[in-house]
Amino acid sequence: MAHCVTLVQLSISCDHLIDKDIGSKSDPLCVLLQDVGGGSWAELGRTERVRNCSSPEFSKTLQLEYRFETVQKLRFGIYDIDNKTPELRDDDFLGGAECSLGQIVSSQVLTLPLMLKPGKPAGRGTITSPLPRSQLRN
């Protein structure tokens, strides 16, 4: 049986992020991870860092393949980047959200609450997937 697959570009924006920097706003960047099973997540891509902004609209889109009828769990992490290293462990976590790629594709615009941890909100994130139905292919 052939699977329908299409390339999807996700546009990410956030509203009302918490400020972790003293004297200025945070410098957010979004990291996209996909569940690869066994409790592991693989990084699929990152947006650019937006300086001094609590409501960023990232210009870099994140691309991935949408596999029709396959659950693809995604995790979006927003980090305050204050250095030039690619590692995230030394950066402040501003919030995150999880959903499936199917949820994004079916709604085309999905707004999710960002959470620092369960029960602790951290702003809002919007994920946009302009996906013309004609792009689906076998």
pLDDT tens digits, one per residue of 41-98: 999 999 999 999 999 999 999 999 999 888 999 999 999 998 888 889 889 999 999 9
Domain containing 63 — which CATH number? 2.60.40.150
Number of domains in the chain: 1
88-125 tens-digit pLDDT:
988 999 999 999 999 988 887 888 888 888 778 777 77
Confirm if 14 and 53 have CB atoms less than 8 A apart.
no
In a domain? residue 11:
yes
Q: How far apart are CA 42 and CA 116, in angstroms?
A: 20
Query: Cα-atom radius of gyration of the chain, to the nearest Å?
Result: 15
In a domain? residue 99:
yes
Using the predicted structure, report yes or no on whether residue 2 has a pLDDT greater than 70. Answer: no
Using the predicted structure, report yes or no on whether residue 131 has a pLDDT greater than 50. Answer: no
In a domain? residue 137:
no
More confident: 1 or 31: 31
Q: Which whole-number Å values give the CA distances from 101 to 40, 43, 49, 66, in the listed order?
A: 17, 15, 23, 7
Using the predicted structure, report yes or no on whether residue 133 has a pLDDT greater than 90. Answer: no
Q: Residue 54: give the domain boundaries.
A: 5-127
Where in the chain does DSSP place strands (E)?
5-15, 28-37, 40-46, 62-67, 73-80, 92-100, 109-117, 120-128
Structure tokens at 137: 């292919």
Structure tokens at 43: 């990084």
